[in-house]
Structure 1
């Protein structure tokens, strides 16, 4: 009778002084020297996780449901990084529970551990993972009831001209943040668009900025139409371009793309004495200013990359013609 395998384990190659993962007749190098026990243990844990295949059962552990979703589905989605973050939020609470335990009570209990909007996004990912398991692994014995917290009302924090002036002045300490603030206030583009923006997307002759890079596809709920730039912004961009030379990204830190504005944004807002403002406030501000200036809804919506319906419902009250006819009857 063949001897039962002991499973994957660490084995010290004394001749070379390195840890190796021994799995049956296979030997996998860890790259860790004898003294690096912690690194070797982590490599073993990663190896076991990669090799692990959850059993296709009708009442799986949520940990297995999330693992399968992360390995099989997420790599094919645009929002893989965000969903992976949601999964890391879900794991501590849900990992040891089974699909049968997902109900109104447990969802409400989880929602109390997170801000309302964050809990809703996490539970949306949990629901998607459960549906994926049901369709691609095994039919669930009991339909899970994922109850989502109510959607938060739209955040309409926008800056006055005086507040924007203070922010621009404070942001000058960080050149990459200053560029973000200027382009955010002048185009209303989303943070992701601006941080990934390259010089090849800006035509300094025509004064038009392409929000989408070459070959990029547009999500149905996040339109990215071209936007015409004002003369003052074009003049500023020309100076930045001369200074940047061959640097590709418009917003950069020492030539490298900027992934996050969290630290510099917080410091600039503190210096400018601004409360409850986020990078997305730039978009709210641009939309509000366009409405206050009486710009036609269709033109403003195209400029912002926003539907007329959303613009009217969220920002229409700032337009000088808002209910002007009805108010005089």
Structure 2
């Protein structure tokens, strides 16, 4: 099998191709130092070994490898179980609007949940839920589009095809009142769910940030929770640094005393991957309609707005890069929202009694 090697050559560097111990070719590199030569060597080898006309499975896996260590790579490893059996063997030029619609139709008829969850349903005699939501289908197709656009940007393919996705739909506007949240908290039967709920409402953190939170990012001395890494200069999306409330400090202190892993949200000595099942059970016991992790984050933002907190402060708590989105979504919950403008439209009083 051919092998590429980086070699010193004529006072500089070269990339040589060997097979069976015999040199087949050698190419002078432009770089003059070791670091530059190493980087140029990597580019040359990547260009030489790049698959010709790769299929979508190759592109998907290459993108996941390029994003190794990021949450998107983990998410695409899971969603690939649905996307790749349908699209994997196709070439980019094979992707059409009709094909995307066929994928969406197939997913709307598919069984929901992981294979393990489906086995548990079947073992219990309950029917496995059917019908993947349009939001899930949209996420899967958007990941495919992202991988294809990346492949185009790095020269793996010439042109990324258009990917048709289901509409985004209407955003859920419902939020929990304080009384509803108290009922939900009281209905939480396990310590990990109770801690999760307190952490979620007290930090307005995203679900992923809460489940990935480690104890080294809980600063009891300063009373702070770092939802993102402590020492990065550029904050991650939705991962702010927020102060602890009194209730959260008490809950965290208790959980810290009995911790068995480095994760804040743990159960039976293992990090918790999802709270959806436990949350669904608490929701039923609290006699509430469907409650999601995002709804708790949304509720926290509404409560801050209802308390009259400045939108810039609410945006900082949510981890938004600016308060434009925050203003658009949450300003209407503020007690001062449009009050000045409404006062300018007051009628009655002395002006109303003027003769025409």
- Structure 2 length normalisation: TM-score? 0.67
CA contact (8 A) 2:201 2:300 kept: yes
Q: Which of these two proteins has the greater Rg computed from alpha carbons?
A: 2
Residue 331 of structure 2, aligned match among 279, 299, 316: 316
Greater relative contact order: 1 or 2 (C-alpha under 8 angstroms, separation 6 or more)?
1
| Partner-residue secondary structure (3-state), 2:168 | coil
CA contact (8 A) 1:197 1:211 kept: yes
Distance 1:73 1:135 in 2: 13
CA positional deviation for 1:227: 0.6
Specify the alignment match of 1:225 in structure 2: 240
Deviations 1:63-89 (A, max 9, x none): 44434444x434365410112223222
Residue 102 of structure 2, aligned match among 102, 109, 112: 109
Residue 66 of structure 1, aligned match among 31, 44, 60: 60
Specify the alignment match of 2:177 in structure 1: 160
Specify the alignment match of 1:25 in structure 2: none
- Aligned alpha-carbon RMSD (Å): 2.8
2:220 aligned with 1:177, yes or no? no
CA contact (8 A) 1:183 1:194 kept: yes
Q: 1:136 to 1:190 in 2, by over 3 A?
A: closer
| Partner-residue secondary structure (3-state), 2:68 | helix
Residue 191 of structure 1, aligned match among 199, 207, 214: 207
Specify the alignment match of 2:249 in structure 1: 234
Distance 2:140 2:300 in 1: 30
Distance 1:113 1:65 in 2: 22
Distance 1:273 1:138 in 2: 53
| Partner-residue secondary structure (3-state), 1:149 | coil
Specify the alignment match of 2:139 in structure 1: 121
Specify the alignment match of 1:268 in structure 2: 282
Describe how 1:31-50 pairs up with structure 2 within 5 A. none
Distance 2:212 2:160 in 1: 41
- Structure 1 length normalisation: TM-score? 0.72
Deviations 1:170-201 (A, max 9, x none): 11x10000000011112211122222223332
Distance 1:300 1:146 in 2: 35
CA contact (8 A) 2:56 2:89 kept: yes
Distance 1:245 1:128 in 2: 38
Question: What 5-or-longer segments of structure 1 have no aligned partner?
Answer: 1-52
| Partner-residue secondary structure (3-state), 1:150 | coil
Q: 1:217 to 1:120 in 2, by over 3 A?
A: farther
